[in-house]
């Protein structure tokens, strides 16, 4: 998977050994756990397994997945962003998460925009979706900023709580 670059960011394929430690930090970040969920990943070995089973599997199966977000200016690992196939959604979900220490600086929105543009122009995917925790107002604003429309509240299979659904104009109903 080719890297994607934006003004301040590089999004690149996630690698088990290279990214286990920062992925562990992200998966246990209080904001991630609160708004996305606890993935029960508690050490670097589990993080490597998570990357292999979730991220690398998606690359192989779908030709896309989550990317590591790196700041161009210094290479800092900020979080991840990409496309995810989810049961219950007819098209890919634009997902993103940044470590709390980098929140509020526009990185999540910039990464989401880069993924969205790549999905449409390079991958040819027009019908894109986004889901957020019902209380995560900032994440919803990011999706609206991409031109998505709020579609209401849904309950996805395998997800404990309801999610707010967003979709591109003309995307199939869920």
DSSP state of 14: -
Beta strands in 26-122 (DSSP E): 66-71, 77-84, 93-98
This prediction has a pTM of 0.96
How does pLDDT run across 95-114, given as a tens digit for each residue? Answer: 999 999 999 999 999 999 99
Each domain of the chain, given as residue ranges in start order, spans 4-167
How does pLDDT run across 48-74, given as a tens digit for each residue? Answer: 999 999 999 999 999 999 999 999 999
Q: Does domain 4-167 have CATH number 3.10.20.90?
A: no
């Amino acid at each position: 998977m080719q890297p994607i670059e934006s003004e301040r960011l590089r999004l690149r394929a996630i690698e088990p050994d290279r990214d286990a430690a920062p992925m562990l930090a992200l998966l246990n970040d209080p904001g991630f756990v609160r708004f996305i969920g606890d993935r029960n990943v508690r050490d670097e070995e589990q993080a490597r397994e998570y990357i292999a089973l979730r991220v690398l599997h998606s690359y192989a199966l779908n030709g896309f997945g989550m990317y590591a977000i790196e700041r161009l200016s210094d290479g800092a690992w900020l979080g991840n962003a990409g496309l995810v196939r989810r049961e219950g959604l007819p098209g890919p979900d634009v997902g993103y998460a940044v470590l709390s220490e980098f929140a509020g600086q526009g990185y999540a929105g910039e990464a989401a925009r880069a993924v969205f543009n790549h999905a449409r122009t390079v991958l040819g995917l027009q019908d894109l979706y986004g889901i957020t925790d019902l209380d995560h107002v900032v994440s919803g604003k990011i999706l609206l900023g991409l031109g998505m429309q709020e579609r209401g509240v849904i309950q996805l299979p395998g997800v404990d709580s309801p999610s707010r659904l967003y979709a591109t104009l003309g995307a199939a109903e869920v």
